[in-house]
């Protein structure tokens, strides 16, 4: 473990700013106050998981986690002379036939991401690569035995730690964008989760461990997607789905299939987006989770919209609305907490925008802004950009520019390629109206954000 100089001072600074004692902080992060005193004195080093818990307790925003790095045994001399590009093209695309092989594939992906980052960031996306994992999820029997026989005993506190850290990173992702959390999540997977998966546990604990690992792996994929690393994001999604199969968690599997559809639709892969959304809907129906059924239906609609099929889009939107009305979100899993009326309205708005129906898109985009803009700051920026696009399509470039200015303001502090792409797309749509002062002001203001020339 390597801890950057200044960690101890930064920890003390955050704690004193929060105004709590070492003993109180220890209760929050499940560490002794003596251990925390040694951390602040620079006498001991934290693990990545402890640093993440300290970030969450002290509002560090990932600053403490970013100062802790794992040094793997495979680094250094073993990497010298090795063709680091070998196997990168297919790394992480395999949906392993059993859960143990799945763990090996996922761990290799995490290690590769840490050690060959520049190479893996360049791997390409192929919507067709989602087909085999989705089919295997649908037709293959779930793993029966998921017990580990390693040396380290893994129990409920370890799994709870994974869930809490994942929830913290998920919150930061929604607030600040994937660029603020992606590397930290991957380090956590490589340094902490991999060791737990190699540990000793019974079948019940193993299923819970695999489910928690699936959530964290999906988050790494989602953050990669948000940063425009689509090939790498695809690999994380596939491995998350494999973990969900090992956990026998059908609801989580449906959510991951829905995320795959989301990415495919964003990349204009219409037919795969529709197929993946339908697969997600089928699994969600089997699991009895109406909220995920509704999400799957609206993602299917988005796939149809990106392909220009207005009639099929309308039918899927109707199913989404009916399923949403029946959903009991109080009993839905925590990880689908984002799916509410505002999110559904935004998806309706995106569908109509893709179909060129700015009049309808505008209505839903306005509804989508009735949301928690602080905890879902990135989503609010997306929705503002959507509303501005709807105004362009409706023939009001000046109002589009006014709303676009709000979207630029909302992008400040976000590290999200999607946020930048939405602004770039809006600027392109407004380009033919550049003679209007409001449009010119927007483009001049937005250009440094989305990287335009």
Six-digit token string for 287: 């699991």
- Report the pLDDT value the prediction gives residue 290, as an integer from 0 to 100: 92
- What's the CA gap between 345 and 366, in Å, rounded? 8
State the span(s) of the chain assigned CATH 1.10.260.40. 1-69
Domain 1-69 in CATH: superfamily? lambda repressor-like DNA-binding domains (1.10.260.40)
- Report the pLDDT value the prediction gives residue 249, as an integer from 0 to 100: 95
Six-digit token string for 339: 């799916």
Position 186 confidence tier, pLDDT thresholds 50, 70, 90: very high
The correct answer on CATH 3.60.150.10 for the domain covering 340-453 is no
Please determine, for residue 81, whether its predicted confidence score (pLDDT) is greater than 60.
no
Q: Tell me the three state secondary structure of residue 181.
A: coil
Position 75 confidence tier, pLDDT thresholds 50, 70, 90: very low
Give the model confidence (pLDDT) of 198-229 as tens digits: 999 999 999 999 999 999 999 999 999 999 99
- What's the CA gap between 443 and 12, in Å, rounded? 43
> Which range has the worst mean pLDDT, 218-232, 300-314, 327-341?
327-341
Please determine, for residue 78, whether its predicted confidence score (pLDDT) is greater than 60.
no
Average pLDDT of the segment spanning 365-369 = 97
**Closest C-alpha among 234, 270, 406 to residue 351:** 270
Report angle CA 228, 230, 236 to the nearest 5 degrees: 120
Rg over CA atoms, the chain? 23
**Closest C-alpha among 216, 221, 218, 236 to residue 166:** 216
Position 452 confidence tier, pLDDT thresholds 50, 70, 90: low
Position 5 confidence tier, pLDDT thresholds 50, 70, 90: confident
H/E stretch holding 11 reads helix 7-18
Instruction: Report the mean per-residue pLDDT for the chain.
Output: 89
How many other C-beta atoms are found inside a 10 Å radius of the C-beta of residue 111? 18
Give the model confidence (pLDDT) of 34-68 as tens digits: 788 888 888 888 876 677 778 777 877 667 877 87
> Which range has the worst mean pLDDT, 84-93, 264-273, 365-374, 437-446?
84-93
Q: Which of 40-54, 264-278, 332-346 is most confident?
A: 264-278
Position 79 confidence tier, pLDDT thresholds 50, 70, 90: very low
H/E stretch holding 104 reads helix 99-115
Position 69 confidence tier, pLDDT thresholds 50, 70, 90: low
Half-sphere exposure of 273 (CA within 13 A, CB side): 23
Half-sphere exposure of 418 (CA within 13 A, CB side): 26
Please determine, for residue 17, whether its predicted confidence score (pLDDT) is greater than 90.
no
- Report the pLDDT value the prediction gives residue 38, as an integer from 0 to 100: 81
Q: Judge whether 279 and 257 are in contact, CB under 8 Å.
A: yes
- Report the pLDDT value the prediction gives residue 416, as an integer from 0 to 100: 96
Six-digit token string for 213: 């690992």
- Report the pLDDT value the prediction gives residue 329, as an integer from 0 to 100: 73
Q: Tell me the three state secondary structure of residue 3.
A: strand
Higher pLDDT, 446 or 144: 446
- Report the pLDDT value the prediction gives residue 76, as an integer from 0 to 100: 38
Six-digit token string for 378: 């990135």
Average pLDDT of the segment spanning 343-367 = 97
Measured CA to CA in angstroms, residue 109 lies from 8, 97, 177, 181, 262 at distances of 31, 17, 22, 18, 22
pLDDT above 70 coverage of the chain, percent? 93
State the span(s) of the chain assigned CATH 1.25.40.10. 340-453
Cα dihedral 110, 115, 120, 121 sign? positive
Average pLDDT of the segment spanning 348-362 = 96
Average pLDDT of the segment spanning 359-365 = 97
Give the model confidence (pLDDT) of 101-150 as tens digits: 999 999 999 999 988 767 777 788 999 999 999 999 998 888 888 999 99
Please determine, for residue 72, whether its predicted confidence score (pLDDT) is greater than 60.
no
Please determine, for residue 439, whether its predicted confidence score (pLDDT) is greater than 90.
yes
Which pairs from 329-338 meet CB under 8 Å and 24+ separation?
329/291, 332/289, 332/291, 332/292, 333/251, 333/252, 333/255, 333/289, 334/167, 335/170, 335/215, 335/252, 335/255, 336/255, 336/289, 336/291, 336/292, 336/295, 338/174, 338/376, 338/379
- Report the pLDDT value the prediction gives residue 338, as an integer from 0 to 100: 87
- Report the pLDDT value the prediction gives residue 34, as an integer from 0 to 100: 77
- Report the pLDDT value the prediction gives residue 309, as an integer from 0 to 100: 96
- What's the CA gap between 329 and 352, in Å, rounded? 26
This model's pTM is above 0.85: no
- What's the CA gap between 252 and 210, in Å, rounded? 11
Average pLDDT of the segment spanning 239-261 = 96
Average pLDDT of the segment spanning 297-313 = 96
| Rounded (10°) CA dihedral 68, 69, 70, 75 | -160
Alpha-helical runs (H) found in 307-436:
310-326, 341-354, 358-368, 377-393, 397-411, 417-430
Q: Tell me the three state secondary structure of residue 223.
A: helix
| Rounded (10°) CA dihedral 379, 385, 389, 394 | 80
- Report the pLDDT value the prediction gives residue 50, as an integer from 0 to 100: 74
Please determine, for residue 453, whether its predicted confidence score (pLDDT) is greater than 70.
no
Q: Judge whether 192 and 166 are in contact, CB under 8 Å.
A: no
């Amino acid at each position: 473990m390597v801890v950057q100089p200044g960690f101890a001072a930064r920890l003390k600074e955050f704690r004193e700013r929060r105004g709590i004692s070492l003993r109180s902080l220890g209760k929050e992060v499940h560490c002794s106050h003596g251990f925390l005193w040694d951390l602040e004195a620079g006498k001991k080093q934290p693990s990545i998981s402890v640093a993440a818990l300290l970030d969450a307790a002290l509002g560090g925003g990932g600053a403490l986690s970013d100062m802790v790095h794992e040094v793997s045994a495979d680094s250094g001399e073993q990497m010298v002379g090795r063709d680091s590009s070998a196997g990168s093209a297919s790394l992480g695309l395999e949906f392993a036939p059993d859960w143990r092989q799945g763990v090996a594939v996922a761990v290799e992906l995490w290690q590769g991401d840490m050690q060959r980052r520049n190479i893996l960031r360049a791997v390409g996306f192929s919507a067709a690569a989602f087909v085999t994992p989705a089919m295997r999820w649908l037709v293959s029997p779930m793993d029966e035995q998921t017990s580990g026989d390693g040396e380290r005993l893994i129990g409920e506190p370890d799994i709870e730690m994974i869930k809490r850290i994942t929830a913290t990173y998920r919150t930061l992702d929604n607030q600040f964008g994937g660029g603020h959390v992606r590397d930290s999540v991957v380090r956590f997977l490589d340094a902490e989760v991999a060791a737990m998966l190699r540990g000793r546990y019974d079948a019940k604990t193993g299923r819970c461990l695999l489910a928690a690992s699936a959530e964290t792996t999906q988050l790494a994929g989602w953050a990669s997607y948000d940063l425009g690393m689509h090939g790498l994001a695809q690999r994380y999604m596939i491995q998350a789905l494999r973990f969900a199969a090992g956990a026998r968690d059908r609801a989580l599997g449906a959510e991951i299939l829905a995320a795959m559809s989301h990415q495919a639709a964003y990349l204009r892969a219409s037919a795969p987006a529709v197929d993946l959304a339908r697969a997600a809907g089928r699994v969600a129906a089997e699991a009895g989770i109406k909220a995920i059924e509704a999400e799957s239906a609206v993602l299917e609609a988005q796939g149809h919209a990106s392909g220009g099929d207005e009639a099929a889009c309308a039918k899927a939107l109707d199913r989404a609305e009916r399923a949403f009305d029946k959903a009991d979100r109080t009993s839905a899993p925590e990880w689908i907490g984002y799916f509410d009326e505002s999110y559904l309205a935004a998806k309706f708005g995106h569908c109509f925008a893709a179909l060129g129906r700015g009049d309808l898109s505008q209505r839903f985009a306005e509804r989508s802004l009735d949301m928690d803009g602080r905890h879902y700051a990135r989503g609010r920026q997306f929705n503002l950009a959507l509303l501005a696009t709807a105004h362009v399509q409706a023939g009001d470039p000046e109002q589009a520019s006014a709303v676009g200015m709000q979207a630029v303001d909302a992008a400040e502090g976000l590290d999200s390629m999607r946020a930048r792409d939405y602004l770039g797309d809006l600027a392109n749509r407004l380009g033919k109206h550049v003679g209007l002062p409001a449009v010119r002001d927007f483009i001049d203001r937005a250009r440094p954000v989305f990287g335009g020339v």
